[in-house]
Structure 1
Amino acid sequence: MVPRSYCHILKKFWGRGRVNSVCWLSQNALRGPTNSCSFSLSAWLSSRTSYTDDKNIILMGPPGAGKTTVGRMVAQKLGLPVIDVDDDVLERKWNMSVADKLAEVGGERFLEEEGEALSDFSATGSVVSLTGSNPLHAGAMQRLKRNGVVLYLDVDTEDIVRRLSAMKVDRIVGQGPGVSMRDILRYRQQFYNRWYDARVLCGSGDTAEEVAENVLRTLERYRDSESETFVSTRGGVKGTGSAGEPKHFSDVVVEGLASDGGLYVPEKGFPKLEKHDWLRMVGMSYPERATTILEKCIHPLDVPAAELRRMVHEAYGGTFADEAIAPVKHLIHNQYVQELFHGPTASFKDLALQLMPRLFAYCLPQMCNYLILVATSGDTGSAVLNGFASLGDADRRRVGVLVFFPEEGVSEIQKLQMTSFREGNARAVGVGSDFDFCQRAIKRMFGDASLTGHLAVEYAAVLSTANSINWARLLPQVVYHSSAYLDLVREGAVAFGDPVDVCVPTGNFGNVMSAAYARQMGIPIRKLICASNQNRVVTDFMATGEYDLRNRPLIPSSSPAIDILKSSNLERFLFHASDSDGQLVRSLFCSLERERHFKVPGALLERVRRDILAGWCSESDCLAAIHDVHSSTGYILDTHTAVGKVVADRLQDRTCPVVISSTAHYGKFAPAVLGALRLGGSVGTPLDQLGGLGALGSRPPPHGALLECLREGSSRPHPVCPADFAALEEQVEIMIQDSFCKVA
């Protein structure tokens, strides 16, 4: 058996996600005095004199990044020896200057000899400044990393070029004839990205003193990983889960829902990025922005930087039809749409669900099978199935995905997308009820100890979720709201610091919550505008302070993805708005579960209203907006984006730009859109309907992946359950048996 204290040590140095199974076993198997071992890793670390437990602090970056100067400053502040590889290692080894050595042997041989010169390098507890070319030699970097923490000084390329020019440096190692300085710096970027443990993002024009302070802050965060904990919105002990153990990113990704029924949130809130951090990202691609932002939110001891970068670039590298991933397009007047539908299933859910399965699989304990349970109002289901299908074979063998959707509450195209997944450990099941019943049933399963215990003992299977109640599902959505603002800055629509409003068609409130988190990180979003259809429970709540589901039936609409009455992520928003009052949130949402009603205190409602505007849109107004926008601009809105457009027109004061989240491609709701455009409704097959829309030649163009899915797919039989909890439970057990109990 492994004492809990040893688990902390393993988690600290080898990453939490890869030893969670050991920790889980120790927490549940140990009893008595052994379980209260007095050894404290955090106390042990704080007793050390070094930031990194006698490891070297290794500064890496291109020539001109300031590694030598910054290294001396950092060493002086920490009272550590400083080693400059150029002066203290290479020149002593070669008995000549680095420039002379390069002239003598040439570029390729120089890299080999530089790497060989570090073969017997030995130091501890020092600040080490690398050469700009050290990272190009894999063997040397592997040796250095064994006893060092590598910090990448990520300096703006234009700053580097200016500095090298001032130093009269016109060529660096590996720069051949006809290759510009910018090209060789761009080429080297891949090597710096491969090796760093933490990135020091430097602002344009930062002084050496500012970079040194940034290095110290980065080191402090790297060392103090145990402080980045999560809490439940329903109280619990601060910084711990219900079992008394700290909950970190890898824990909450795997668990999904807190054991007390609440949702996980970062205990200390989101990191606040400075203006110069955001300005560095203006010129970046979407994957680079995502990597930079997520590095600030996920500790590298949970998901190492190189792994996170790999996952991000796999998620967004080739699966989106538009190179910009989530482009912002001008619509009319001060209104912009952010197109979030260029992913493989044509909805905004792809932005999170191409990445979330990779994070989930990385954080999984190795000793259990996991079944992902998902309730969907249409778009989430196909996005989850597609995202988890992209995992490697080994991960797919121990991860199953079961989607419950309202059989009569999704569009025909959405149903075809979901039921086309019949291979591997993936399945969609229709339910003779609405989305809220599906979601309520899943939350009940998580809280049913007899069920979860039976699945664990009988099948070594654990339940988790990929709905937006899971933190790893919500977090990637913060990126696209941030990216929208950076796009407006890049296009000159705003100067950084100018406010914008964000209008989101919302049902489950996750998209709104992620915009609120982007604001916490420093994006100047003024108002969050919640746009509802005729199921206007959020609008009524904002008006009255009462969340009332009593005698409120769900009304099917042409915007089914927001046909939701119970907005799960509102719980997170109220937790933050109430200054983390977990007891109040517990009382409110337990009342909602028992009595289908709660009312917030007046002071809390006023605080919510300072941040949020809310309105709703009728069916006729939604369809009229589709027609009017197409007539005036040639742009086709889907039914959800049209809801957002109508509400933005009514509530936004036009004193600043508003970004409307375009959450789905219009092709997913072709009959309604064709009807709105007065071209006939549900005539022909879904493929015929998409062909009719494509023939208009309007913006945005037809969705290629959607067309391909319909060409290859066909209506397939799929299980349909009555609105009965026991029937859904049975489907869960059947799915687990089919996925994890097959005999080879």
Structure 2
Amino acid sequence: MKYSSTRGNSAQVTSAEAIIKGLALDSGLFVPDELPQIDMSFIESLVPLSYEERAQKVLGLFLTDYSAEEIKTCVENAYGHGKFDCEGRAPVTDLGTMQVLELWHGPTSAFKDMALQLLPQLMSTALKKTGEQDKVLILVATSGDTGKAALEGFKDVDQISIMVFYPEGGVSKIQQLQMLTQEGANVNVTAVKGNFDDAQSGVKVIFADQDFNSQLKSKGVKLSSANSINWGRLVPQIVYYFSAYADLCKTGRIKAGEEINFTVPTGNFGNILAGFYAKQMGLPVHKLICASNANNVLTDFLQTGRYDRNREFYKTITPSMDILISSNLERLLYHVTGDKAQVADWMAQLAQKGSYEVDVKTRGIIKETFWADFVDDEATKKCIRQVYSQHKYVLDTHSAVAYQVAENYRHETKDNHVMVVVSTASPYKFNGSVLEALQVETEGLDEFGLLDKLREMNDQPIPAGLAALKTKEVRHKGVCGKEAMAESVLNFIET
């Protein structure tokens, strides 16, 4: 299978080449030239399998230049060796009216582990397969979870270094501690004065700067990405949609072939886009419901067809969704229109004016699959309280956004398909906000006191990686303005 740029001005590449490059030379995103198609026998074959075995079958459809043995080794290294605290890796919990897909049982307690434990394995294998001699520097902009998951996945991996930029004051205290205490000889974490979009735009500018990339090349370094703009980050996420469906069949909650809905909290649009790929491949998905916080740029786009980032930016209790530029939407537009020149034009408008508007036909096609809504912080807290009261189940803030939007969707549409709420983080990662939502007194408690307090209410134990933060040394103290990000990159590779 070959991969091409969404903007049409780069050569076709293999999946290994796409994973190493991260971003196409024309600044577009790599997409498969065709999507593999599956039938019900394929889905039924997944039911008795482990998560790792399911992953091997799904990934094998896309990574056709990798051998079956290479994929098996990558998958086992990613999900085995005690890295996950749950045998099913991504279990589905039945809350009666809702099914909750828990994607936070990995080493950093967030859904990004599902992809970022695998991406380093795929990239390391790709470097060997292609005979690449240069060192690869992974550049990451994070709104919280991607940073730590990428750092943990890439630490001390041969031939690869990683540098993470995060918005100063724009992540939770636990997320910040996770990153600043990161060990590894090949890692760097730097705060950017600004919001996530400043950090993300700065990384994109660095990727697009040919002179700067030539300067790096002279030092034997080439750039790649661990954000979901990298196909190797996105393709592992397709797996858990298939796995969730197989688990629902296994428990008898649905019959094979029955359509279901997924509600996904999303900022950068990668998580829900993986669900779109699963649906396009033949997974019986009825609707994909996009759940946003007060930074509701995606809700507006999916409802009106107009994307406009020229709006007030809100810092919320769901910081991983505090995003106004949703990079993966570009891939959706490509698949819906098949028109690379049009996609390139829309992206140019976004870069130059901060907005674009799709045509009526495109908007109509998107609405056939997607529904969207958003909730503010107060509604998010109320949802956490209600779910806890009804089920004694603790949602994190992001998952609560999805849960409430799923409720809103059902109320408005009367759709009675089985609903899967995609839960993206452990509540312990956002303990202060969760405890506030549960109206628990927390005065005088530090982050670790908050962890202990939440444990009193939660059946799930405190994740080992979070508990260990209490005694870990802060190793990264760098701060820069967005205009100085390239200089920070040079300083890192020269140390």
TM-score range, shorter chain: over 0.9
Q: Distance in 2 between matches of 1:684 and 1:435?
A: 28
Cα pair 2:86 2:105 within 8 Å, conserved: yes
Cα pair 1:291 1:312 within 8 Å, conserved: yes
Aligned-partner residue type, residue 53 of structure 2: E
Q: 1:271 is matched with which residue?
A: 36
Q: 1:369 is matched with which residue?
A: 135
> Which of 358, 361, 368 is the matching residue for 1:600?
358
Could you tell me how far 1:683 is from its partner in structure 2?
A: 3.7
> Which of 48, 53, 65 is the matching residue for 1:288?
53
Could you tell me how far 1:422 is from its partner in structure 2?
A: 4.4
Q: Distance in 2 between matches of 1:420 and 1:700?
A: 24
Indicate yes or no: 2:6 matched with 1:233.
Answer: yes
Q: Where in structure 2 are the equivalents of 1:688-727 lying within 5 Å?
A: 688-696=449-457, 698-708=458-468, 710-716=469-475, 718-722=477-481, 724-725=482-483, 727=484
Q: Where in structure 2 are the equivalents of 1:401-550 lying within 5 Å?
A: 401-457=162-218, 459-550=219-310
Could you tell me how far 1:390 is from its partner in structure 2?
A: 6.2
Indicate yes or no: 2:347 matched with 1:347.
Answer: no
| Residues 207-255 of structure 1 deviation map (CA, whole Å, 9 limit, x = unaligned) | xxxxxxxxxxxxxxxxxxxxx211111123xxxxx2x4x3111110011
Q: 1:728 is matched with which residue?
A: 485
Q: Where in structure 2 are the equivalents of 1:625-636 lying within 5 Å?
A: 625-636=383-394
Pairs aligned (count) = 488
Please state whether the residue corresponding to 2:95 is helix, strand or coil.
Answer: strand
Could you tell me how far 1:312 is from its partner in structure 2?
A: 0.3
Indicate yes or no: 2:315 matched with 1:315.
Answer: no
1:501 and 1:353, CA in 2 relative to 1: closer, same or farther beyond 3 A?
same
Q: TM-score normalized by structure 2? A: 0.97
Q: Where in structure 2 are the equivalents of 1:637-716 lying within 5 Å?
A: 637-652=395-410, 653-681=414-442, 683-696=444-457, 698-708=458-468, 710-716=469-475
Indicate yes or no: 2:309 matched with 1:557.
Answer: no
Q: 2:147 is matched with which residue?
A: 381
Q: Distance in 2 between matches of 1:277 and 1:307?
A: 21
Q: Distance in 1 between matches of 2:443 and 2:339?
A: 49
Q: Higher relative CO (CA 8 A, sep ≥ 6), structure 1 or 2? A: 2
| Residues 568-606 of structure 1 deviation map (CA, whole Å, 9 limit, x = unaligned) | 00110111111x110111111110001101000011101
Greater alpha carbon shift after TM alignment, 628-637 vs 683-692: 683-692
1:717 and 1:456, CA in 2 relative to 1: closer, same or farther beyond 3 A?
closer
Q: Distance in 2 between matches of 1:629 and 1:423?
A: 39
Please state whether the residue corresponding to 2:373 is helix, strand or coil.
Answer: strand
1:682 and 1:450, CA in 2 relative to 1: closer, same or farther beyond 3 A?
farther
Aligned-partner residue type, residue 243 of structure 2: S
Could you tell me how far 1:407 is from its partner in structure 2?
A: 1.1
Could you tell me how far 1:554 is from its partner in structure 2?
A: 1.6
Give the root-mean-square deviation of aligned CA atoms: 1.2
Could you tell me how far 1:544 is from its partner in structure 2?
A: 1.7
Cα pair 1:411 1:669 within 8 Å, conserved: yes
Q: Distance in 2 between matches of 1:285 and 1:275?
A: 18
Cα pair 1:446 1:463 within 8 Å, conserved: yes
Aligned-partner residue type, residue 352 of structure 2: R
Indicate yes or no: 2:384 matched with 1:620.
Answer: no
Rg larger for: 1
Cα pair 1:672 1:681 within 8 Å, conserved: no
Cα pair 1:370 1:400 within 8 Å, conserved: yes
Identity %: 39
Could you tell me how far 1:672 is from its partner in structure 2?
A: 0.3
Q: Distance in 1 between matches of 2:78 and 2:444?
A: 36
Aligned-partner residue type, residue 234 of structure 1: R
Q: Distance in 1 between matches of 2:472 and 2:260?
A: 41
Q: Distance in 2 between matches of 1:423 and 1:280?
A: 40
Cα pair 1:230 1:264 within 8 Å, conserved: yes
Cα pair 2:6 2:31 within 8 Å, conserved: yes
| Residues 537-574 of structure 1 deviation map (CA, whole Å, 9 limit, x = unaligned) | 00111222111112x12200000000001000011011
Q: Distance in 2 between matches of 1:444 and 1:721?
A: 15
Q: Distance in 2 between matches of 1:681 and 1:471?
A: 42
Q: Distance in 2 between matches of 1:506 and 1:656?
A: 21
Cα pair 1:671 1:682 within 8 Å, conserved: no
User: Unaligned 5+ residue runs, structure 1?
Assistant: 1-227, 237-241, 739-744
Q: Distance in 2 between matches of 1:375 and 1:258?
A: 17
Cα pair 1:532 1:562 within 8 Å, conserved: yes
Please state whether the residue corresponding to 2:151 is helix, strand or coil.
Answer: helix
| Residues 708-729 of structure 1 deviation map (CA, whole Å, 9 limit, x = unaligned) | 2x2332445510112x32x101
Q: Distance in 1 between matches of 2:220 and 2:433?
A: 45
Q: Distance in 2 between matches of 1:262 and 1:436?
A: 18
Q: 1:206 is matched with which residue?
A: none
Could you tell me how far 1:331 is from its partner in structure 2?
A: 1.7
Q: Distance in 2 between matches of 1:513 and 1:623?
A: 26
Please state whether the residue corresponding to 2:252 is helix, strand or coil.
Answer: coil
Aligned-partner residue type, residue 239 of structure 2: V
| Residues 648-687 of structure 1 deviation map (CA, whole Å, 9 limit, x = unaligned) | 0001334111111100000010110010111134642211
1:682 and 1:567, CA in 2 relative to 1: closer, same or farther beyond 3 A?
farther
Please state whether the residue corresponding to 1:405 is helix, strand or coil.
Answer: strand
Q: Where in structure 2 are the equivalents of 1:577-596 lying within 5 Å?
A: 577-578=336-337, 580-596=338-354
Aligned-partner residue type, residue 486 of structure 2: E
Could you tell me how far 1:481 is from its partner in structure 2?
A: 1.0
Please state whether the residue corresponding to 1:332 is helix, strand or coil.
Answer: coil
Q: 1:185 is matched with which residue?
A: none
Q: Distance in 2 between matches of 1:381 and 1:510?
A: 15
Q: Distance in 1 between matches of 2:135 and 2:253?
A: 49
Cα pair 1:344 1:706 within 8 Å, conserved: no
